[in-house]
Amino acid sequence: MDTRQRLHTLIDELSEHDLKAAEKLLGRLQSISEDPVRYALESAPEEQERITLEEEAAVREADDAIARGEIVSDDEIRRTLGL
């Protein structure tokens, strides 16, 4: 039995509930295989580097600034850069 036939057999044996999940998974696989950049991103290994305490503090500081409304709009950045 070749791979395609085996997949058909597996699909035929799935419950109705599992068919929905399989459809989503196969759809995702198909969209990834059609876009090489997306495939590279999806198949890249997870980041293994730990966040340092300094980086964690910087993220908290940025989150706090956003919560206080201390943000700069895209338009303001463009004006500042003359774009």
Domain ranges of the chain: 3-43, 51-83
Residue environment code for 48-65, b if the CB has 16+ CB neighbours within 10 A, otherwise e = eeeeeeeeeeeeeeeeee
How does pLDDT run across 20-72, given as a tens digit for each residue? 999 988 888 887 778 888 778 877 888 778 889 999 999 999 999 999 999 88
Does the predicted TM-score (pTM) go above 0.85?
Answer: no
> Among all chains, which residue has been given the structure tokens 């989150």?
63
